[in-house]
Every structure is written in structure tokens, then in C-alpha cells.
A and B are shown apart, each in its own frame.
Chain A
């Protein structure tokens, strides 16, 4: 058995998502290599070097992780029985190309490893869990990182093997990006999240959530309704097709609790719901529910925390 984990990173640092993926990989078997593909990313490779093997593909063609190049690289960088990456937008973008090029199935978003060929994954927005078994020669898998603890650093730095494989292509060109800049913790890594929904009524009103989040050192999330209405940017959306989170504490403010939103946060350790509608479905998953006007509750919370 030989397992490849493709690292999630931004060329400067390794993302915690990679450490959770390594935990999933180690649950399958001990022979794990980590591939770092990017540009000027030698630092990331050094950080990843607490696993048995690290492969580094450092070239301008991988600078923005275009899937056409990354997938072509992955299928050539060695012979593996399992290929894993985190189920982030990056991983979800390139990994299916890898599976298709290898003519095998991909198993998306696993939440558990039952054996080297059997895995559990959510379907129907997490309302059912499917146990699937693969007889393919290579298992290609994306990992739901909220389901696996981050692997600790082993201490011994493994040697970094540099790969000379450069997969240029001219089908797709990177033409810019706009990333949110925030002092707050990243949504998928935060231990406390305060999320706002349609009940917030405007983007301006999210300042009330910010004050609470400041007191708690929390990340800020949102429901699809809040994003669609233009209150907040899309990268804050928590839900079936947005970000999947499982923090220690999730506070849902003015969020009704649609199936699709619950899919993204129902594995949170503690859920608090603040909503003036006592019948809102969110109260069915909340450990603590406060039926009240959020415009009264939020300032009070910010003050008393």
C-alpha cells in the first residue's frame, strides 16, 4: 500500500486541512507521501516534512494550482494505491480529473475510513451516510477535514524529493483572483463561529455580529440567504454547497435552519440558535435556543461577554 496526500497550501504555508487529510491517510496505512505542487513553495514542503516522504513540484505552472496542470502532475509522480486531498475548492477542482485520467472512481468527502477499500461519506446533504467499497486499483479520495483531527508533527524532518515534472498547458489561463482579507480565524479552522442569516436584514447589520465575534475570537459565517441577498461575500457561506464546519461552538443568528444550511454545521459540538421565530427548524438542532429579537440580543451579548 502506498498513499499520496496532495497538500493544501498557498505557496507560503501549509493549511491545517492537509494535516487532517494526513490523519485520514494514516488511518488507511503507514506509507504516506505528501506532494506539494506550487510556485516558490519550498517552505511549505519543509513544513510538511513530518511524514515519511515529501515530494516537491515547484514551478510557475503550478502557481495557481490550475487543475489541468496539477492533475497531469499527480498521475505521473509515482505509483500509489490511494490518492487523497482535502475536500476544499482546490481539491474538489483537480482531484476528479486525476480519477478520470486513471479511469477509476472518486470517493468524495469521506468522513470515516472503515478499511483500505471501504469508506463512509455523506449523501443527501448529510441526511444519509453511505458506506462504499472500491475495487479499483487506485482509490482516489477527497477528505472532509472536519471529520479528522489534525496530525501532529512527528518531529523528524523527512527528506524532500524535488520532482522535475513540469506540466504546462495552454487550455486554461489564470486571470486574477479576489480573496477576502480578514484578521479573524479562517471559517473552516475556527473553534467558534457566529453566523448570520436573512434575519440580519442587511450587510451593515453584520457589524452587530462582528462585535460578538470580536469578544469570542470567532470567525463569521453566513447562510446562503444572507449571501444571495448581498449582505456578505460568498466565501462566508456555510452549508451543503458552501463550507462545511464543525467548531466547538456555532451560534446561528437569524438563520431559519434549512436542510442545506444544517448540512454545513450540524456536526458542531455546541449549537446556539437566536431567532424570534420559535418554530424555526434551527431550534431542532440547537443545544441552546433563545427565542428573541436578534437586534436586542446581539448588543447585549457583545456587552456581557
Chain B
């Protein structure tokens, strides 16, 4: 089985972003960047499946400007075999990303695609589902458990009311949720080995994909700020204020 994992370069999860003064976007100039946490979980899951002997190769792909090769290297250091960098401007819409991934899936004869459920910058939660749809594949989204079982994929999913299990034929797309696994740390030897693993660069034109979108961002604003609250000195005071001042109980 060949696995494709897509990883995205995003702002580090601990960074509190600020909106640019001209409202054209978010201030990223000196922000610390990292691999999207959900993508890292996807890489870890792919490696685990390979370590179980259920996959022959794990290919990692990232879409964006040259800097995202850093995240491909991170995935290679975690155990992926080779990388593909689709060089394009940052900020492509999910549908364009899905189309680029489909082209790679077809080129590489991929059996299983693992993606993060969402990326913590755009919070869209769409790529996995869109890729599955345009590829005619089933999907196992928000996965908290993945198991290869007799040539099929058993996926346990986190849903609003609890958990749901689906059985998917391969090839399939899985999007990872937080509790699927805890990613390993890359060891120094593996980081060194990763430097020698190949990363191929392709463009959307090479893949025959039009990345235009009908969606554009008009402006980006800061959310309304909550007025500062007060500290209360006791439970009695809290209850009194909630009753008479806030009137919520």
C-alpha cells in the first residue's frame, strides 16, 4: 500500500496572531511557523501503518512557497520516505489543494491519503472531503482510530454525540483528529537521514491543475474585544453578582 500524507506550513499554535493595520490579512512577518498539528498527526499515523508492515511507502506532499520544504523535511525526519513540493503561491483555496492532491494521487497510484482534519490558520475542514469526492473515494473524517482490516480501512470517528465507526474500501481519504495519536519526536539520526531523502518540485501547470478560485477575501478584522471583568472575593459574592448584576441565574 502506498500512502500520501499532505502537510501544511502554518503559524505555530501558541502564537496569538494580530490583524494587519490595513485589514488585508494577519500579521505573519515574524511569526514562528510550524507543521500544522493535525498534519503532524497524519504523518505519525502513516509511519505507524508502515511500521506495522501494512504500507511500502509514505510520500509526503506540501503545497505552497519554497519555505514549506521545511515542513516536508520535518515529515521526512519523522519517517516518511520521500517528499513532493508543489510550488505555488501560499493561500490556495481548499478546492485547488484537493485538485493538486488528486493529480498526485493519480500519478503515484496512492492507496491511502492521510490529511489533517483542518489547518489551524484557515480553519476550513474541507480538503480531505473534497479530495475524496473528486477522486470518487470514500472518506473517514475526524479519525481517532485507523486500522487496516482485510484490505479495508476501519475508521473510528469523533462526532458530536460520541464516536462512529465506518468501514471504507481502498483507496480512501482519512482526515485526522487530535486524539488519533501522539506524534513522536524526530531523533537526531533521523533528522540527518532526512536531509538525504529526495524532495521533487512540481508546479500546478505540471500537474494540469487550474488553481483559480471563485472565493476572495475582502478584508480581515479583529474580533470584538470583551470588556475587562472583575475578580470576586468569595462564592457568595459570585452568586450575588450572577443573580442581580448579570442576571444569568
User: Is B138 within 8 A of A172, CB to CB?
Assistant: yes
Proximity string of chain B (227-249) to chain A, C-beta cutoff 8 Å, 1 when within and 0 when not: 01111101110110110001011
* Contact status A177-B95, CB under 8 Å: no
Q: Is the interface of A mostly helix, strand, loop or mixed?
A: mixed
CA distance A118 to B136 in the complex (A): 31
Which stretch in B57-65, B76-84, B161-169, B201-209 binds the other chain? B161-169
Tell me whether A269 and B223 are in contact (CB under 8 A): no
Interface membership of A156, Cβ < 8 A: no
Residue of B nearest to A215 (CB): B249
Give the interface segment out of B45-53, B118-126, B184-192.
Answer: B118-126
Q: List 25 A-B contacts (CB under 8 A).
A: A88-B160, A89-B142, A93-B139, A99-B126, A100-B95, A101-B134, A105-B95, A123-B121, A123-B123, A124-B11, A124-B120, A129-B222, A131-B217, A132-B217, A135-B215, A235-B160, A240-B120, A241-B118, A259-B13, A284-B228, A285-B226, A288-B229, A288-B231, A301-B239, A304-B236
Please give the distance in Å from B12's CB to the nearest CB on chain A.
11
Tell me whether B95 and A103 are in contact (CB under 8 A).
yes
Take A93-B129, A177-B159, A301-B239 as given contacts and tell me if A108 and B215 are in contact as well, using a CB distance cutoff of 8 Å.
no
Interface string of A80-116 (1 = CB under 8 A from B): 0000000011101111111111011111110000000
> Roughly how many angstroms separate A94 CA and B132 CA in the complex, as a whole number?
11
Count A/B pairs, Cβ under 8 Å: 251
Query: B26 near A132 (CB under 8 angstroms)?
Result: no
Q: How far is the CA of A67 from the CA of B125 in the complex (A)?
A: 14
Interface residues on chain A, number (Cβ under 8 Å): 88
A170 touches B169 (CB 8 A): yes
The reply to whether the CB of A224 lies closer than 8 angstroms to some CB of chain B is yes
Contacts of A297 in B (CB 8 A): 235
In Å, the complex CA distance between A67 and B238 comes to 46
User: B249–A249 contact, CB under 8 A?
Assistant: yes
CA distance A223 to B164 in the complex (A): 21
B4 at the interface (CB under 8 A from A): no
Query: Contact check: which of A172, A180, A291 meets B231 at CB < 8 Å?
Result: A291
A175 contacts partner chain B, Cβ-Cβ < 8 Å: yes
Q: Which residue of B lies closest to A135 (CB)?
A: B214
Residues of B within 8 A of A26 (CB): none
Which are the 10 A-B pairs with shortest beta-carbon distances? A96-B129, A136-B214, A171-B138, A100-B130, A172-B138, A97-B133, A287-B229, A105-B215, A100-B133, A96-B126
B126 and A106 within 8 A (CB): yes
Q: Are A249 and B242 in contact (CB under 8 A)?
A: yes
| Residues on the B chain within 8 Å of A270, using CB | 242, 246, 248
Is the beta-carbon distance between B168 and A171 smaller than 8 angstroms?
yes
- Contact partner, B164, options A118, A177, A192, A224, Cβ 8 Å: A177
CB closest chain-A residue, reference B116 = A241
Contact segment of B14-22, B67-75, B104-112: B14-22
Given the contacts A272-B238, A286-B229, A228 and B166 also touching, CB distance less than 8 Å: no
A96 cross-chain contacts in B, Cβ below 8 A: 94, 125-130, 133
User: Is B124 a contact partner of A106 (Cβ separation < 8 A)?
Assistant: yes
A177: which B residues are within 8 A, CB to CB? 159, 161-165
Determine the residue in chain B with the shortest Cβ distance to A17: B160
Alpha-carbon gap, A147 to B236, bound state (A): 33
Q: Does A122 contact B (CB under 8 A)?
A: yes
Docked pose: A288 CA to B248 CA in angstroms: 12
> A262-282 toward B: CB 8 Å interface, digit per residue (1/0)?
000010011110000000000
Query: How far in angstroms is the closest Cβ of chain A from B171?
Result: 10
| C-alpha spacing A297/B162, complex, angstroms | 30
In the complex, whether B39 has a CB less than 8 A from a CB of chain A is: no
Q: Is the C-beta of A227 less than 8 angstroms from some C-beta in chain B?
A: yes
B196, CB-defined interface residue at 8 Å: no
Contact check, B249 vs A125: say whether CB atoms are below 8 A apart: no
Query: How many Å from the CB of A253 to the closest CB on chain B?
Result: 12
Complex alpha-carbon distance, A142 and B239, angstroms: 38
- Report if A16 contacts B (CB, 8 A): no
Report B-chain residues with C-beta under 8 Å of the C-beta of A99: 95, 126, 130
Question: Residue A128 at the B interface, CB < 8 A?
Answer: yes
Any B CB within 8 A of the CB of A2: no
Q: A172-B166, A285-B226 are in contact. Are A90 and B160 (CB under 8 A)?
A: yes
**Which residues of chain B have C-beta atoms less than 8 A from A108's C-beta?**
123-126
Interface residues of A in 207-225 (CB under 8 A from B): 216, 224
Expressed in whole angstroms, the minimum distance between the Cβ of B218 and any Cβ of chain A is 4
Instruction: Tell whether, in the assembled complex, residue B144 and residue A234 are in contact, meaning their CB atoms are under 8 Å apart.
Output: yes
CB of A126 within 8 A of chain B?
yes
Roughly how many angstroms separate A233 CA and B156 CA in the complex, as a whole number? 14
Tell me if B88 is interfacial: C-beta within 8 Å of chain A. no
